[in-house]
Structure 1
């Protein structure tokens, strides 16, 4: 478990901000008993405990994934199924009747396993806070000012894994990282909206480089 790195990453972020949820510092009213900032921090630390070959960077967390799991592109359902390497979870994360399932998370992890990358990939976001509208179970595009919150953590993560290739997932993430002055080693199609095949093909090209 890489709790030191997880803690340092979290400390670069604001503990709270209007319209943004910090999964590792804030508690959600829909958190299940036994799931909160401390547990999400622990899962992040477990996820970071690897020799990273790739760091996949999306735009921002979603309510079906990182808001409750504490790990990018990772849903409650996948954790409950034991599908996420390094991260142990045997209890519910949300009080929702059924565990949250994030389509993009399912596609990402399926492709990582297919190409032998599940044990050597870190999942992250340009903005690590969940941007929401009036209700917590919503997503929205972060503003440029909000994206700037994520730069220190991105640079810290890159420095912690200097051999890993930073990969933008989707055009929004690629554009956001470029505007923030964060250089990436590659970019792949976002798996949402029919992009699953192109996303997997993009990963395959990275493997063969």
Structure 2
């Protein structure tokens, strides 16, 4: 169950994300689970670097309904999907970083494979750089219900442990609380930047 402290920590994470330029031009969306039935999700069209707790809407995890009548983020259905798929997920961060956006288009396979980087250990459960960490990539879609259905189908037989990429769009990641989601975001973004530089330097 999420208390007010988690929402305040999410607001602080949003300010940090905004300061890094990872959610430009009101892009991105963030949420935190309230309980089994509800989450708090950032309102559409808001600058993530200046959000307050008042800029988050209560949203039903089952059907995306917002009792306030205000407009939640366009990607609401992806947040609620993650909360339904993973009961242990209590915070979700969606960002539009350059590295995530570009890599998601450069990599043509269904997943970006990360291997050999010590910072893989920033991801929960990873204990060595020798493991290969797959980050699934899904084609972007303006039909969020259809996109959520494709992700749900994938998750039935594949692991989505930390997050996924949307082609030409960005990264969605999560954690057991805001602190873990923030660590996963920072760790994955570092890994994406390393992978980008590796590919540039190794290019013939």
TM-score using structure 1 length? 0.33
Q: Which has the higher contact order (CA 8 A, sep 6+)?
A: 1
Provide the TM-score with structure 2 as the length reference. 0.33
Higher strand share goes to which structure?
2
